Structures are given as C-alpha cells and as structure tokens.
Amino acid sequence: MKNMLWRKRTFRLAHALGAGLAVAVSMALIATAQAAECSNKDALGTSRILAVDAVTTPRVGLKSFPQTLPLEDHEVVLTFDDGPWPATTPKVLAALAHECVHATFFLIGKPASEHPDLVRRIAAEGHTIGTHSWTHPSLAQIKPDQAVAQIDHGISAVERVLHGVATTKPSTPFFRFPGFESTPATLDLLQSRGIVVFGADLWASDWNPMTPAEELKLLTGRLEAAGRGIILLHDPKAHTAAMLPAFLRYLKENHYRVVHLVPAVPPTGIARLP
C-alpha cells in the first residue's frame, strides 16, 4: 500500500502547485518512492515515469495508429492484457517485483470483479490499471449501444473494485480495444471523454500456442528490429508468465530502459483516489 499512499500525497501536492509544475513534481516524488522500495540492487528498475495526456496523445501505438508515445531509443513500455487471472497474474507480478519494474495492466471487467484482491494487489504494487471492456468481445462486430455498454461496464467494474464506486469515469483514463478492433464512433466517444486509446508498437503474439523459449526468441527479435516501443503481452498466458523473467533479464543485459505510464494530472483537478 506504500505506493498508493505516495500517490495520494503527490497528487494532492500536484493539485496545489498547478498543472505544469504538478506533473514534474509528482512524477519525481513517485519515482523516488519506488526507487527507495526496490531491495534488489541489481534490478532492471523503472528508468522514468511518463505522464500521458489524452489531449496531446489520444491514440497511441503504431500497430493501429500513426502516432505513438515519445520514447527514446531502447525505451520500452510493458503492458499486459486480459487479466486478472489467478493462475498466472501473480507470477507476472512476482517477476516484475523482482526487477522493480512497473507495467500497465488493461483489465477485463468481469474477471476483475471476480478477483478483486488480485486487482488491488496490482494497484498496491505500483502498476497502472487501464480497462479492456467487460467480457472482451470485438467492439467492432456488435451493435453500437452494446459496444458502449461493454466499455462502460468494464470501467465501472474496475472502479468499484479499486475505489468502491461504480462510475464510468475512470480514475486512470487508459483503454485498449479487445483485438484492437475499434470503430470511428467508439474512438470518437473515448476521445470526447478524455480516455487515451492504446494500441501497441510490438507484441509477442502470445495468443498463439508456443513455448516460453519460442516466445522469448520472437519477442526479442521484434524488439531488436524496433529498438523501442509499447510492448503487448497477456498475463493470463502461462507461457508468457514463464517467459517474463528471462525477458526482463534480456532487457537489463541489453541496456533497455523501462518507462512507467501514468495519467497526466488534469489542469482543473486531480484523479479521484481511495
């Protein structure tokens, strides 16, 4: 819970200071707190924190959009979809904790509501939580009102678990479409609500059956070619959970740096916290 308390204090300070200086100060304080909590002196660690603003970057990820995050060479963002899943998500969290790395988890609403303690653990360990619909249908293949309901139900389920209120206004306005299957209407809807839509820059194709060794080879080859980017993985996949410690070692040995994403502080207020 230390990370959650730090976030409360820093976002309150950010609100008092104003939007521009607020982001820099709050992110620096959170980074200091996270570094102090890392007990592994040889850990990969999180190199910096990037505040993502829906106004300037409403849609990111080169697999789906022309724009991505402003990452430098050898910087990566780790993202995980489709959780939480009790058999594998704890293994992913353990691997990240061992290397003192923070990631972004795009949670499906239904399993989030079924495994609330695991959702709270993800947040308590300092990771960012976005949403990924209620039950993971293709939002481009269902009726428009059903697509909106899937988005809202997924958000409200996660908000209820984290904050006790089933609101459709996410405290972390990050969303990823299941299968990256959006429509112009749903994209416009999310942009109008100030919610950043995440694609990805590269992935391990871990939705396909493969061994951890095969996944590691595929992912490192793609990362070597790209040099940087938002990486998509799936924490419910057993081979991904098994592969992750080796991938984090690869990042460290090859001088990659992990960037942790957080929402930018709104100029008129702060995100609601528990």
Please give the structure tokens belonging to residue 135.
């039950």
The CA angle 158-163-168, to the nearest 5 degrees, is 50
Contacts of residue 163, Cβ cutoff 8 Å, sequence gap at least 6: 171, 272, 273, 274
178 within 8 A of 137, measured Cβ to Cβ: yes
Nearest CA to 70 among 222, 178, 201, 253?
201
Rounded CA gap, 250 and 181, in Å? Answer: 31
Rounded CA gap, 215 and 218, in Å? Answer: 5
Residue that the structure tokens 């969290």 belong to? 93
The CA angle 79-261-127, to the nearest 5 degrees, is 65
**Which parts of 126-268 fold into alpha helices (H)?**
144-163, 184-192, 212-226, 238-253
For residue 170, say if its preceding peptide bond is cis, omega within 30 degrees of 0: no
Catalytic residue among 81, 82, 152, 235: 81
Is residue 81 among the annotated active site residues? yes
Rounded CA gap, 127 and 123, in Å? Answer: 5
Catalytic residue among 136, 234, 239, 260: 234
Residue that the structure tokens 């200086």 belong to? 21
Is residue 82 among the annotated active site residues? no
Give the DSSP letter of residue 229.
E
Residue that the structure tokens 């940087």 belong to? 228
Nearest CA to 59 among 261, 195, 260, 223?
195
Just list the catalytic residues: 81, 234
